[in-house]
Structure 1
Amino acid sequence: MRTAYSVETVRAAERELMARLPEGTLMRRAAAGLAASCAGLLRRVYGARIVLLVGPGDNGGDALYAGARLARRGAGVTAVPMDPGRMHPGGLAALLGAGGRVASAVPGRADLVVDGLLGIGGRGGLRPAAAALVERIPPGAVVVAADLPSGVDADTGEVVGAAVRADVTVTFGAYKPGLLIDPGASRAGAVRLVDIGLTLPAPDAQALQHADVAGLLPEPGAASDKYRRGVVGIVAGSARYPGAAVLAVAGALRGGAGAVRYVGPAAVGEAVLARYPETLIGRGRVQAWVVGPGLGDERRAQVLEDPVPVLVDADGLRGLDPQALRARTAPTLLTPHAGEAAALLGVGREEVEAGRLASVRALAQRYGATVLLKGSTTLVCDGTAPVRVNPTGTPWLATAGSGDVLSGLAGSLLAAGLSGPDAASVAAYLHGLAARRAASGAPLHAHEVAEALPAAWRDVRTP
């Protein structure tokens, strides 16, 4: 599992470790990891043209010490300070002693540029002096961010104004939430972690990996039957949106439950049966409900009164009563996209998209539910445990009906016995993995995502 920690947590761990080590040890460890990563990105270090964009803090010191290491290996290293009078003195001396130089302007050509302008404490985007340097990064140069792309909020991933867009980010000691959550994640490129010896408490965010998901997947035993494996009820579809019901059932059938029961308009039920004849039709005992996809103006069934887990998506999210949800004794899982989340919170969509982490936490707290906030970075939060950040997916998932498949899949996992956060996290992971398989770099349809779910499931289970 990949875990991420807030700035406050990382700094506390750094202070604790620095009190036990000689001065400058952590910076030298970070610089060594940064230099090694830069060297690995170059065809050869000797003769390479490297530019350091240097800020006034420790982040600039990391870049200077890394530059000194690369200069000693024969690279031509040029440091360009944001504020010439406030460069890290030790790092500057090391660079000059290794044969590096300082310039007042960014050279017109470079093989690699190191962003050492702002550290993890930076807030509010780049200041004009830093933005001016970033604008002059030579085209074609590989951009490596030291710890975090400058201009990205380390705790939230928010970007206000200008920010560095890195090809690779070399982060020190621990992942930061802003490296995993958009829009910051899209600025970070490939993220590499350098271990500097920190001892860290519980994380603020986490991203599951194959082994974590494999350990959560339901698996039938010798005594299992379809009812013991769980039955998921689907309340979805309408005369206007019949396909939503078909897609939700498609996702549910591949989600690990023993049976799928459809409840909705008769004509839509016929469409579901025509595609998936194994579907049960009509109300009956279920272990979880999915309500909302494609309901349109249809009246939703009163499934919130049923004492089983309920997933609410799409049209089912309209007019939700926070008090009614908080009064439920069984788990509730909400799966909004940014627009739906904005309506639930009473804010603008742009506010949700700019502050995804704050939004998912606010939704979970307000509605007393687990929330899966869909988008370029899908987040899962139940208000108590670390926020989970989904690492899988593809931009091709932005297609009609893909959310319906996700809802059915997550609902089936709820019926199979997973908790709200686990069902949401596993569903998002498999959904994204299936989409990557189905797309392979080309447009895809939602039904192709559903069809690729068994292969994604097997991928996760393969050692």
Structure 2
Amino acid sequence: MLPAYTGTAVRAAEQPLLDDGQGDALMRRAAWGLAQHVLAELRRRGPVAGSTVAALVGSGNNGGDALWALSFLRRRGMRAVAVPVADRLHDDGHAALLAAGGQVGEQVPSGTAVVIDGILGTGARGAFELPDGLVLPEGVTVVACDVPSGVDADTGQVLGEVIPADVTVTFGAVKAGLLLGAGAQAAGRVELVKIGLGPHLGAPDLVSAQETELRAVFAPPRWDDHKYSRGVLGVAAGSEQYPGAAVLVCRSALNCGLGMVRLAAPEGVRQLVLAAAPEVVAQDEVGGKATAWVCGPGLGEDGSARDRLAAVVALAAKQALPVVLDASALSLVSLGQVRRMRAGGAVVVMTPHRGELVALARRLGADAGLDAKHWEAELDTDPVCAVRELAQALDVVLVAKGPSTLIVPPEPEGSAWVQTEGGAELATGGTGDCLAGLIGAALARAQTGSPREMAVAVAAAVRLHGTAGSQAGQDGPFGASVLPDQIRSVIATAAGSRWRR
């Protein structure tokens, strides 16, 4: 699990140390760590000796970090050039650079291998404008100091221009803005340098599932497992108009180590699914033994769709089964049905993309006490807070799908999860059906737990889905039908030899 904090929280954690006179020590620790990561980037490019490193330097502490890093690099034999973008430089950092034999120049030298972005830090707000005449050499590696200039460290917003980084070296704690929206896209690979803030940080504002969670949720079977103990997923999906959605849900669920999939669908959909996965137990009505249900992919919006949704709701409420509501189910389900399932002890997971999220807030939010108009404005400025408010209003786990996917339980004390794996390669029809199958499988394997506990399994499923999409995209364009096999490959790699005994 990777914890992340807003820039505001990190500055608050720094304050006791600053009050204790440790500001210079914090800056040197940060700068030393930054210099080590710059050296690592130089080694990736080729010989280090004689390389040129430049820094775009602002007037604040972020600029001071960059100047001290340049001084350390200069002492390792690099040519170090500071390019001021403000009227003044950090005094001690400037002195350290000059004492080490570094230079101050008016522009980034041609042939520079690495440029450090040290213009703005975590306290920056508002729109950022690139320095006049800024030209970076072709092929240069950009390393951001703490956050890329132009990124809001709290929310990931980019209101003006931004300097995209190949690597962001962040200090004390990973900033939430590096994992959200445009900020995540601008940050590149994020590397953390610990500077001693741990005892002062408190609970994280965001967490992100890592390989540890993926391996735990999608672990190989124990020696005494059987198909029922490995989880049974019920699927109400597919229709005459959208039969393939059921295939994608079922194959994705089966390929992540589930014990059984039980499908409730019309005859034509059942035949299509059985041709692709004959191990699926196919039936025409919702029912039978299951430890979780997925409802909605390709379901349509006719009477049959409503009947299948109502049957899943009744079963979940009666047996306290976790339910994933996706696609068609998001536009069909009523607030009363959600409350019925929750009253029966069922964990309800909703998986909307941006448009569906707004539609949910408008359609169900008013009855749940949400000011939809205010909420929509907040969704742009503080997406974590907005998604949390809707999750609490509906009493569900919300999976707000996008470039940064948020997974938020309804409990006020529950951590919000964010996953940034995958990207635009997943923006193709059917990939959401695959994700619904993975989330359903994760819940079926977990079988019981609070919404907060189930959110961990959901986050692991989102990570698995994004990783599979990213790997599939390395071979070129693809359709969603390749994802189930790629999912199997990701799990086998993560689990290592345990799946290859």
TM-score norm. by structure 2 comes to 0.84
Q: Distance in 1 between matches of 2:39 and 2:229?
A: 55
- Hey, what does 2:293 align to over in structure 1? 289
Selected match of 1:121 from 120, 123, 139: 123
CA distance in 1 between counterparts of 2:68 and 2:291 reads 59
2:184–2:420: 8 Å Cα contact kept in structure 1?
Answer: no
Alignment of 1:390-405 (within 5 A): 390-405=419-434
Deviation at residue 221 of structure 1 after TM alignment: 4.7
2:169 is equivalent to residue 170 of structure 1: yes
Q: Could you say if the C-alpha distance between residues 292 and 168 of structure 1 is closer, same or farther in structure 2, counting changes exceeding 3 Å? A: same
The 5 Å alignment of 1:125-274 reads 125-126=127-128, 128=129, 131-133=130-132, 135-199=134-198, 200-217=201-218, 220-221=221-222, 224-274=225-275
Kindly report which structure 2 residues correspond to 1:338-377, keeping only aligned pairs within 5 A, or say none: 338-346=354-362, 356-377=383-404
Distance, in Å, in 2 between the alignment partners of 1:331 and 1:122 is: 40
**3-state SS in 2 of match to 1:385:** coil
- Report the secondary structure of 1:144's partner residue: strand
Aligned to 1:100: 102
Q: Structure 1: 5+ residue runs without aligned partners? A: none
> How far apart in 1 are the matches of 2:73 and 2:376?
45
Aligned residue identity for 1:379: L
- Displacement after TM superposition at 1:359 (Å): 4.3
- SS of the residue aligned with 2:131? helix
Amino acid at match of 1:41: E
Whether the 8 Å contact between 1:288 and 1:310 is mirrored in structure 2 is yes
Counterpart code for 1:165: P
Q: What's the counterpart of residue 378 of structure 1?
A: 405
Q: Provide the C-alpha distance between the structure 2 equivalents of 1:44 and 1:275, rounded to a whole number of angstroms.
A: 52
| Partner SS state of residue 132, structure 1 | coil
Q: How does 1:7-18 map to 2 (within 5 A)?
A: 7-18=7-18
Give the counterpart of 2:52 among 43, 49, 52: 49
Q: Does 1:304 align with 2:317?
A: no
- Relative to 1, partners in 2 of residues 1:353 and 1:246: Cα closer, same or farther, differing over 3 Å? farther
- What is residue 440 of structure 1 aligned with on the other side? 474
- Contact 2:249/2:433 (<8 A) preserved: yes
Q: Residues 125, 462 of structure 1: CA spacing in aligned structure 2 closer, same or farther, 3 A cutoff?
A: farther
Structure-1-length-normalised TM-score: 0.90
Kindly indicate whether the alpha-carbon contact (under 8 Å) linking 1:399 and 1:445 is maintained by their aligned counterparts in 2.
Answer: yes
Do the aligned residues in 2 keep the contact of 1:151 with 1:164 (CA within 8 Å)? yes
- Of residues 316, 330, 334, the one that matches 1:317 is 330
Structure 1 residue 388: Cα displacement: 1.8
Moved over 6 A (4+): 347-351
Q: Distance in 1 between matches of 2:83 and 2:401?
A: 40
SS in 1 for 2:174: coil
CA contact (8 A) 1:229 1:416 kept: yes
User: Which residue identity does 2:189 align to in structure 1?
Assistant: A
Query: Structure 2 vs 1, CA of residues 278 and 44 (structure 1 numbering), >3 Å: closer, same or farther?
Result: closer
- The answer to whether the Cα contact below 8 Å between 1:45 and 1:73 also exists between their aligned partners in 2 is no
Aligned residues: 459
Q: How big is the shift at 1:38?
A: 1.8
Counterpart residue number, 2:443: 414
Aligned amino acid, residue 402 of structure 2: G
Q: Partner amino acid for 1:363?
A: L
Alpha-carbon shift at residue 276 of structure 1 (Å)? 2.2
By how many angstroms is 1:222 displaced? 5.4
Retained in 1: the 8 A contact 2:7–2:176?
no
Aligned equivalents of 1:163, 1:342: Cα separation in 2: 27
Contact 2:174–2:192 (CA under 8 A) maintained in structure 1? yes
| Residue 460 (structure 1) shift | 1.8
Mapped contact 1:261–1:283 kept (Cα < 8 A):
no
Pairwise CA distance, 1:397: 2.1
Conserved 8 A contact 2:301-2:332: no
Bigger shift: 334-343 or 273-282?
273-282
CA contact (8 A) 1:434 1:452 kept: yes
Amino acid at match of 2:390: L
The AA in structure 2 aligned to 1:93 is: A
Alpha-carbon separation, structure 2, partners of 1:361 and 1:441: 36
Task: Go from structure 1 to structure 2 and tell me whether the alpha carbon gap of 1:41 and 1:423 turns closer, same or farther (over 3 Å shift).
Answer: closer
Structure 2: any 5+ residue segments left out of the alignment?
363-372, 448-452
- The alpha-carbon deviation at position 413 of structure 1 amounts to 2.0
Change (3 A) 1:63 1:446: same
Can you list the C-alpha shifts for 1:307-326, whole angstroms capped at 9, x where unaligned? 22110111111154446424
Describe the shift of the 1:304–1:62 C-alpha distance in structure 2 as closer, same or farther (beyond 3 A). Answer: same
Amino acid in structure 2 at the alignment position of 1:289 = W
